[in-house]
Structure 1
């Protein structure tokens, strides 16, 4: 059994969740001793596709013509396309038709969570769908003092500064305007949003939020490596007020770092994230302000150990064996 991980466009996607998921798959298959290639001109038995661009669509069609099996990884839905770029809401019905036509080229569909599986089934897709997490590299997010030091030095934060972080593109859907309002209400704390999107492509609400950001908000752009890993390790809270996700790899990163995690109470986190047990959930800006203050003041019980267990269940090694099982069943026709 040899798997083609179709990776064209990986560089362009490297700053997105899909890009990280693709990197995780390479690591996962290596950990599970699954033979794979990323060269589409190489021999293979099954192709695993993550993107919905036209080249990926052509790859799926080519594989089917050659009698090869296709596993399509559904990272995108109409719901999480909305409230992202300019005109995304107007284009979302067309996007939905496009992604359905792509996913239906698969013999089998993977998607990150039970929630996203339910959405795809609601589209009327009849191909077998299984939810498998995008996974998380636990070793990468172990506490290392040198990473913490690099983070604090980069921002010139002291050890007594109270720091709240978030990670994501500059999307309205990600809750960036809400993040700004929460920070405005808590001027004694430092708020850092890692990530970037060209302002010409974002909605007017996001542009206005960035233009009027309070002084205690820091927007360093996209940063990888020690600085962001140090941020996860020493931040007082990870606040992710996103309105829609198919999983949220950054949430797994926070949980793996044992960073107190606050998310919006939305369907994607059911049933794997539980309020007050392995995270905290809010529905509004006042909720998030209350939760941030409660965590920093020590008035709310810690959820980090249970949160780490959630990440551990989704380790790259565990995901590798789940993918191996899927490939073997698809190739054997047992699905």
Structure 2
């Protein structure tokens, strides 16, 4: 069985959660193959990954695109649409992976909230073409069913690549010194958007004496929202925005409490990464986190800024609580191994082919 697992704009999205999710899919499938599954994964639609070779093959009557048994697409743009239409024409099983909803598109960049209703209509049509839509959570599955998307939908965790953050502790001193961080550090990781809880992050920081750090890309072009410009150009005295960092483990090594007041997620790979590093987590109480995490067991879930401030104070003052949450968080992250994801993906492909 040969699978095309394709991410449109992969070179531009390697820093984004979609890029991480796609890379983990590929790694999960390769681990399944190493464990004995009869599966091969390719990431380019062109034969041997070469568009020139594809053109040559097409002119010789052998087909422009790679010969695969299943097409698995991760984005919603024109190249993905063309491949989806090709899969339908050639009767090749088509899997569309939902990383984008109109809800999580809001408050991402300038104008995104205005565009979101039109995007919802497009996504309803686009995802309905699939033989199967995969969502990272039951929460996102329910979202799509309400659009309504008419294709079958299955929830499947994005998983966590433990190797990508395994050496986080080795970076701790270097990153804390580089960004002038001291004491119990509250931190977030990922691109800086208002949808990720930027205003809450900064206003909570203003009410506490701790150092806060947000490791991730900050948009500075015309697409940057006024809110992002406001907070990143004039942050509270105890808040640091690092911008992009080359060593992701360094971000997790530098911080002590993962503080992620995001308003909307389809799963939240970054939370699993923090948990894999044994970081106690303070999260906004949103439905998708209730699906995967348990308040007071592997995280603290908060609805208001007041609750967030109180939770951060509790963790800063109580090392035993930090360690208890951290240990349980490691166990939660272990339930999302790429080996398990690979088994589920291969079984899904086989079911479509049969």
* Superposition TM-score tier, normalisation by shorter sequence: over 0.9
1:263-282 counterparts in 2 under 5 A? 263-282=283-302
**Root-mean-square deviation (Å):** 1.6
Deviations along 1:188-233, one digit per CA (max 9) or x if unpaired, are 32111111242332332332222331121111112132xx313324
1:52 matches 2:76: yes
Separation in 2, partners of 1:110, 1:129 = 6
Give the secondary structure class of the aligned counterpart of 1:32: helix
Instruction: Give the aligned length.
Output: 327
Aligned to 1:15, the other structure's residue is in SS state: coil
> Looking at CA atoms only, which structure, 1 or 2, has the larger radius of gyration?
2
Aligned match of 2:219 in 184, 195, 198?
198
Moved more, 249-258 or 197-206: 197-206
- Aligned residue number for residue 11 of structure 1: 11
Partner of 1:324: 346
Aligned-partner Cα distance in 1 for 2:148–2:181: 51
Contact 1:262–1:291 (CA under 8 A) maintained in structure 2: yes
Change in CA separation of 1:300 and 1:293 when aligned onto 2, cut-off 3 Å: farther
Higher mean Cα deviation, 124-133 or 195-204?
195-204
Match of 1:76 in 2: 100
- Paired residues of 1:234 and 1:259 also in contact (CA < 8 A): no
Task: Give the Cα–Cα distance (whole angstroms) in 1 for the partners of residues 242 and 226 of structure 2.
Answer: 20
Maintained 8 Å contact 1:116/1:246: yes
1:39 match: 44
Matched, 1:248 2:265: no
Alpha carbons of structure 1 residues 74 and 144: separation in structure 2 relative to 1, 3 Å = closer
Contact 1:170 1:202 in 2 (8 A): no
1:146 and 1:27 map into 2 onto residues whose CA distance is 24
1:307 counterpart (329, 333, 337)? 329
* Offset of residue 267 of structure 1: 0.9
Aligned residue runs from structure 1 range 1-335, under 5 A: 1-33=1-33, 34-41=39-46, 42-143=66-167, 145-158=169-182, 161-186=183-208, 188-199=209-220, 200-225=222-247, 228-298=248-318, 301=321, 302-332=324-354
CA contact (8 A) 1:294 1:300 kept: no
Structure 2: how far apart are the matches of 1:294 and 1:13? 37
Quote how far apart the aligned CAs of 1:7 are: 2.9
TM-score, normalised to structure 1, is 0.93
Match of 2:58 in 1: none
Rounded Cα–Cα distance in structure 2 between residues aligned with 1:5 and 1:50? 8
Could you tell me how far 1:60 is from its partner in structure 2?
Answer: 0.6
Map Cα deviations across residues 248-267 of structure 1 (whole Å, 9 max, x no partner).
11111101111011110001
Unaligned runs of 5+ in 1: none
Q: In terms of mean alpha carbon deviation, does 67-76 or 78-87 score higher? A: 78-87
* C-alpha contact (below 8 Å) 2:32/2:342 kept by paired residues: yes
Question: 1:116-158, CA deviations, whole angstroms, 9 ceiling, x for partnerless residues?
Answer: 0110111122211111111111133235542223322322445
Give TM-score, length-normalised by structure 2. Answer: 0.88
